[in-house]
Amino acid sequence: MENNLTILKDHLNKIADLIINKNDVIYVDIPIHTNVGDLLIYYGTEQFFLNHDINIKLRMSVIDFNISYLKKFISPETTILCHGGGNFGDIYEIHQNLRYDIINNFKKNRIILLPQTVFFKNNNNLNNCINIYSNHSQCYLLARDINSQLVFEQLSKKVILSPDMAHELYNVLPHKKNNSHLTNNVLYFIRNDIEKVDHSDLIPIDSQTKDWDTLIKRSYLSKKIFKTLKILIKFSKLLKIKSLNNLVYNLYFQYSLHIIKQAVNKFMQYDKIVTNRLHGHILSELLEIENKILDNSYGKNISYYKLWTKKK
């Protein structure tokens, strides 16, 4: 019987079929921060490009996004890929506005939103989003769960259910070996940001919780490197030199791999992970570590779990 994680990885293959010309692709909204969940999506996406011989001719983030510069790289066959994740809606406006700019300026190009979870707090914001997206006939929206699919179907006729891009990393990242001397060492990996939920009733009183920022102790040197890379990305925007763009994003990708490796090493020290971070759950699955997923503030985690990773 085929492993479910292999099935989820193979499920991503259909995305490659949507790309018109694999040598004429632009990838925007790359995450320039140290949230390991987004970095796992980023790594999975770049691994997907490698596995499917997709050549990216330009990469951009919210830091260096520039419509006039981007237009220089657009041809009728250009496919624009927008980074996936959980930032579609009105919680993370800077990313939503970047996508609006893409939709409004490239109406004749194929645009693919890589797997996303949707959440709107305000119906007026949702209606505005519907008005913008419904005017684009070549926009493919990939939904990570059923609720997101239902919202996306108000925006476009081209909606596909898809697991997260991080699943491309199955068998790329290591697996935790089944040791007979398990210590029942449990990591309570609980988010402390805008999507946090009080799960204190489910966590033993004497247990310490961690999030990405406390799990990974970044050194002073590491912080300086990250700050320098952000400056270089901004600098490349000013100079508008493609070779510099390629160099800076390659350096940033290597830095991202460094952060991910630290997260993997930390997770591998535990026998079980209890988490309300979706990518705490997905990373545990990829590493084949026993885990329990709790929900976030708007139902993203359990919706994903029921659709994709729940053991059948």
Percent of the residues in the chain that have a pLDDT greater than 90, as a whole number? 76
Q: What are 200's strand-pairing partners?
A: none
Q: What's the whole-number mean pLDDT along residues 49-58?
A: 98
Q: What's the whole-number mean pLDDT along residues 103-114?
A: 98
Q: What's the whole-number mean pLDDT along residues 189-214?
A: 76
Greater pLDDT, 21 or 204: 21
φ, ψ at 221 (rounded to 5°): -60, -45
At 235, the pLDDT band (50, 70, 90 cuts) reads: confident
Residue appearing with tokens 């988010």: 191
φ, ψ at 130 (rounded to 5°): -60, -45
Greater pLDDT, 239 or 220: 239
Average pLDDT, the chain: 92
Token digits of residue 240:
């508008």
Strand order from edge to edge, sheet including 290-293: 209-210, 186-189, 272-275, 290-293
Task: Name the residue type at position 110.
Answer: R
Q: What's the whole-number mean pLDDT along residues 37-55?
A: 98
pLDDT of residue 196: 58
At 218, the pLDDT band (50, 70, 90 cuts) reads: confident
Percent of the residues in the chain that have a pLDDT greater than 70, as a whole number? 94
CATH topology of domain 4-169: Rossmann fold (3.40.50)
Task: Name the residue type at position 94.
Answer: I
Of the given ranges (79-88, 279-288, 294-303), which has the lowest mean pLDDT? 294-303
pLDDT of residue 55: 98
At 1, the pLDDT band (50, 70, 90 cuts) reads: very low
| pLDDT over 80 at 227, yes or no | yes
Q: What's the whole-number mean pLDDT along residues 115-138?
A: 96
What whole-number distance in Å separates Cα of residue 200 and Cα of residue 190? Answer: 10
Q: What's the whole-number mean pLDDT along residues 48-69?
A: 97
Contacts of 149 (CB under 8 A, 6+ apart): 143, 159, 161
Q: Residues 79, 46: contact at Cβ < 8 Å? A: no
Q: In the chain, how many H helices and how many E strands?
A: 12, 11
Segments making up each domain of the chain, as ranges: 4-169
Q: What are 26's strand-pairing partners?
A: 58, 80
pLDDT of residue 208: 80
φ, ψ at 148 (rounded to 5°): -65, -40
pLDDT of residue 201: 62
What whole-number distance in Å separates Cα of residue 260 and Cα of residue 265? Answer: 9
pLDDT of residue 180: 47
pLDDT tens for 183-196 read 679 999 998 876 55
Of the given ranges (168-177, 208-217, 247-256), which has the lowest mean pLDDT? 208-217
